[in-house]
């Protein structure tokens, strides 16, 4: 009887239980906040790691690489391709000199590099000369070690099939001596940079040219030879492209500005 009376006596604990519940909810709220913060930190570290050691996104602001790359293209650059230098790090932090795990570019690679004059601005051009190569341009024709890069003029129908408008210029397929083939654009073959060299590419440096040959600041002028330490990575694939015809605030017109046909294209 005493036991039964004890079990059924009025409970004096509801207030204590409410306080305990509030404490648990507070602890759970704090735990959830810490878990969210932890997730954000991990996500940021993963993003920084991928950007530093694997792939970094870039966009194209100028026409110097047309017709290969157009203004409004967004691409992934492989950091794995050429190894790592301080220019692979966020903000170009000078934590070490030279390169580690270095693999030399091939002639024909489209590469991003730090502008040698300030070591900060990112440029994108095509590597056409390796250390020790003799580079010359004669009447618009590129010569590498005295071997002319073959040019094939595209017909109007071929240009139309590419969906690329070339006012005031011509499109060619250029084939480098190593067999790499890509598109270039020429206004004509009598522009100031259509005759250059010959010069030997110094050791530890590369010669870079824009595919828009008459509208590119590259190793023929201003940029000069690109030190191997300045290489950031190889441009591999387009992940987005727009033609700039849609203002940012007219969101309903965005789809009409997207170049869907370029998304996912490999960069050659």
Model pLDDT for residues 1-30, shown as the tens digit of each residue? 433 332 444 444 555 555 555 555 555 666
pLDDT cut 90: percent of the chain above it:
62
Domains of the chain by residue range? 11-50, 54-262
125 is catalytic: yes
* Residue 104: predicted pLDDT: 93
Q: Answer for the pair 122, 114: CB distance below 8 angstroms, yes or no.
A: yes
How buried is residue 263: exposed, middle or buried, by Cβ count under 10 Å (0-12/13-18/19+)?
A: middle
pLDDT (average), residues 131-155? 97
Range of lowest pLDDT (22-36, 107-121, 247-261): 22-36
Give, in order, the Cα–Cα distances in Å from 249 to each of 59, 182, 241, 246, 253.
Answer: 20, 37, 18, 8, 9
Higher pLDDT, 92 or 108: 108
Q: Is the pLDDT of residue 252 over 70?
A: yes
Catalytic residue among 64, 81, 88, 219: 64
* Res. 159: pLDDT tops 50: yes
Distance CA 153, CA 137 (A): 18
- Residue 244 or residue 35, greater confidence: 244
Cα–Cα distances (Å) from 235 to 51, 55, 65, in that order, read 14, 9, 12
- Superfamily of segment(s) 54-262: Umud Fragment, subunit A (2.10.109.10)
Mean pLDDT of the chain: 86
- Catalytic hit among 81, 85, 88, 125: 125
pLDDT of residue 164: 82
What pLDDT, on the 0 to 100 scale, is given for residue 9?
43
Tokens (6 digits) for 211: 């595919």
The torsion of the CA quartet 126, 128, 130, 134, rounded to 10 degrees, works out to: -150
**pLDDT tens readout for residues 29-85:** 667 788 777 777 777 666 665 566 668 999 999 999 999 999 999 999 999 899 988
Q: What is the pLDDT of residue 240?
A: 96
- Strands of 122-129's sheet in order across: 55-59, 73-78, 231-241, 110-114, 122-129, 205-209, 226-227
pLDDT for residue 17: 56
Q: Looking at the predicted structure, is the pLDDT value of residue 218 above 80? A: yes
């Amino acid at each position: 009887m005493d036991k039964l009376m004890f079990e059924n006596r009025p409970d004096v604990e509801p207030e204590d239980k409410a306080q305990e519940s509030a404490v648990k909810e507070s602890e759970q709220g704090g735990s959830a906040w810490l878990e969210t913060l932890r997730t954000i930190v991990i996500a940021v570290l993963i993003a920084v790691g991928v950007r530093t050691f694997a792939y970094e996104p870039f966009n194209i602001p100028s026409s110097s690489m047309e017709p290969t790359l157009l203004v409004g293209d967004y691409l992934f650059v492989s950091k794995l391709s050429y190894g790592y230098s301080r220019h692979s790090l966020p903000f170009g932090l000078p934590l070490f000199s030279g390169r580690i795990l270095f693999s030399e570019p091939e002639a024909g690679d489209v590469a991003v590099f730090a502008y040698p004059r300030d070591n900060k601005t990112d440029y994108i051009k095509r590597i056409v000369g390796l250390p020790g190569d003799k580079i010359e341009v004669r009447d618009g024709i590129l010569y590498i070690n005295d071997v002319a890069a073959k040019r094939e003029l595209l017909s109007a129908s071929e240009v139309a099939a590419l969906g690329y408008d070339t006012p005031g210029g011509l499109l060619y397929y250029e084939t480098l001596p190593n067999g790499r083939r890509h598109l270039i654009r020429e206004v004509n073959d009598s522009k100031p940079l259509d005759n250059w060299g010959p010069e030997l590419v110094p050791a530890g440096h590369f010669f870079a040219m824009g595919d828009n040959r008459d509208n590119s600041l590259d190793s023929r002028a201003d940029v000069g030879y690109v030190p191997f330490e300045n290489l950031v990575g190889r441009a591999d694939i387009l992940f987005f492209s727009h033609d700039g015809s849609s203002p940012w605030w007219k969101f309903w017109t965005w789809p009409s500005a997207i170049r869907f046909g370029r998304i996912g294209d490999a960069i050659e």
